Structure 1
């Protein structure tokens, strides 16, 4: 399933990890965050958040600005271009997810349901 999702995001020139960073930033509703906070929110903990953020900055999807109060800290924000890209992805995301779910076997659906129940119980 990860491969399918990765292929889906390729059309937007994004990796799954880059997409996660953008969504995390969007969820902050305009508030800044730092690398440490973004790293903690990553599903894939072995992601190099510094590298991901720099790639997104080069694409002009986010900004990195040195914090005025703490020069060792960098404030990270999503740009209008990043928000627009996420809106474009959101427009077809539900359709993509339905296609993925429709391609699951009965045993995969049962496994998924078991895992979801386990997650919800914690």
Structure 2
């Protein structure tokens, strides 16, 4: 990817800045391709993430705190995401019998069926996106990305 060409500049960008811009451009591309893969299912990447988390609960309920903790994007409004998934009949929300203040969230059978289709679409998108990389490339890239300390 020619960062300077995309930004329409003739000046070379310092390596550190170019690297960050490059990562941002890649992030944007992945975000767009993810949205495109999920568009036929009328769900966002965040809603897809909620469904995967609930599926991973193996029939056990999750609560909003659990979903928030496990979300890829911590900026999500989990309550709103769950509400939208309820309207699609992909998840259900119940009040815990032992603690009436606790809300339990489950994936529905319809949600599980649709998640299988969504996951297949996402896998196809991922394979297409990474078609020019080898397994060794991906291992190296992951090692490099592990060096980013975003907590500082």
Q: Same fold (TM over 0.5)?
A: yes
Q: Within 5 A, what are the aligned runs for 1:27-106? A: 27-102=56-131
Task: Tell me what 2:33 maps to.
Answer: 4
Runs of 5+ consecutive residues of structure 2 not aligned to the other structure: 1-29
Mapped contact 2:63–2:102 kept (Cα < 8 A)? yes
Task: Tell me what 1:115 maps to.
Answer: 145
Matched, 1:15 2:44: yes
Task: Tell me what 2:13 maps to.
Answer: none
- Cα RMSD for the two superposed structures: 2.5
Deviation at 1:118, TM superposition (A): 6.9
Question: What number of residue pairs does the alignment pair up?
Answer: 116
Q: In structure 2, what is the Cα distance between the partners aligned to 1:31 and 1:55?
A: 21
Greater Cα shift, 110-119 or 73-82: 110-119
Mapped contact 2:37–2:121 kept (Cα < 8 A)? no
Task: Tell me what 1:24 maps to.
Answer: 53
Q: Between Structure 1 and Structure 2, whose CA radius of gyration is higher?
A: 2
Q: Aligned with 1:77: secondary structure?
A: strand
TM-score, length-normalised on structure 2? 0.68
TM-score, length-normalised on structure 1? 0.83
Q: In structure 2, what is the Cα distance between the partners aligned to 1:33 and 1:98?
A: 30
Q: 1:33 to 1:99 in 2, by over 3 A?
A: same
